[in-house]
Structure 1
Amino acid sequence: MKLATLQAQLPNFKIRLLTLADQEALLALEQSNPRYHQYFSPEPLTMTEIRHDLTAHPDEIAAAQKQVFGFYLANRLVAVLDLLNQYPQEQLLFVGLLMVNQTYQRKSVGQVIMTGLMQAALQSNITAIQLTRVTADDGVARFWHRLGFEDGNQLFLPLKAGGRLAVTTMTRMLQ
């Protein structure tokens, strides 16, 4: 996804690609959503995990296919969007994470970002957007369903602390 294409659809935000230099701001944003992290680990979120979030991608794709966009209002990071371009197929876009700072939740920020992303994706010849969500999180399910995403398969992610986490794939066709 080209930054300029996304920025044109979302002019009220300052959008930029996040780098390792943005670790502290990203940590603060993710810490504002403690429930999300608790699905994956009983331990507190660490800077090591933030570094991993900024760089991790599936082995079968190039590092350049991953982008982590930061969305700013009044010079404050209010949301993060982690994307994998051309994954799992060429004309698909995979959302690894959309997280809005808790202060800005339920104020249409996530909906506006995703609507802008869908418009930018259409301009970029993307045919569908996919993601996985934590199956047990009903509020997140309602958010994605309102945006036209449909449930797919349920998968189980192994957790570092042992056990597995149920996640549901979701897809939104754009054309």
Structure 2
Amino acid sequence: MKLSTLQAELPNFKIRLLTLEDQEELLALEQSNPEYHRYFSPEPLTTEEVQHDLTATPHTVVPEQKQVFGFYLANRLVAVLDVLNQYPQEQFLFIGLLMVNQAYQRKTVGKVIMTGLMQAAMKSGVVCLQLTRVATDTGVETFWKKLGFENGDQLFLPLKHGGRLPVTTMSRLLK
């Protein structure tokens, strides 16, 4: 996904690709959503975990396929969108994470970003968006369903502290 294509669809945001230099800013955004992190670990979120979020990919994905977009309003990071291009197959875009700063939630920021992403994806030849969500998070499920995503398979992610987290795949075909 070209940054310029996404920016053209979302002119009210300043969008840029986040790097390791942005880890403190991303840490603050992720800390505004402590419930999300608790699904994965009982320990507090660390800078090392944010570094991992910025760089980690499935073993079948090359680093160039991953992009982490930061969305700014009034020079403040208000949302992050982590995507994998051409994953899990060609003409697909996998959403690894969409997180909106808690202060901006329920104010259409996430919906506006996703609507712009869908438009940019279609212009880029993407035919399907996919993601996984925590299976028990009904609020997130409602958000994605309102955007036209449909539930798919249930999977289990192994957790580094032991146990497994049930997640549900979701997808949305683009017209």
Q: Same fold (TM over 0.5)?
A: yes
Give 1:125's aligned residue.
125
Q: Which residue of 2 aligns with 1:156?
A: 156
Aligned length: 175
Shift of 1:39: 0.2
Name the structure 2 match of 1:16: 16
* Percent identity between the two aligned chains: 75
The CA distance in 1 between the partners of 2:62 and 2:160, in whole Å, is 24
Residues 38-90 of structure 1 show CA distances to partners (whole Å, capped at 9, x for unaligned) of 00000000000000000000111110000000000000000000000000001
Return the alpha-carbon distance in structure 2 between the equivalents of residues 53 and 29 of structure 1. Answer: 13
* 1:103 is the counterpart of 2:103: yes
Aligned with 2:83: secondary structure? strand
Runs (4+) of structure 1 exceeding 3 A deviation are none
When normalised by structure 1's length, the TM-score is 1.00
Which amino acid in structure 1 is aligned with residue 131 of structure 2?
Answer: L
d(CA) in 2 for partners of 1:65 and 1:105?
Answer: 28
Distance 2:57 2:164 in 1: 20
CA distance in 1, matches of 2:148, 2:126: 16
If the length of structure 2 is used for normalisation, what is the TM-score?
A: 1.00
SS for the counterpart of 1:162 is coil
Deviation at 1:16, TM superposition (A): 0.1
Matched position secondary structure for 1:43: coil
Distance in 2, Cα, partners of 1:68 & 1:6: 12
Note the alpha carbon deviations across 1:83-136, whole angstroms, 9 max, x for none: 000000010000000000000000000000000000000000100000000000
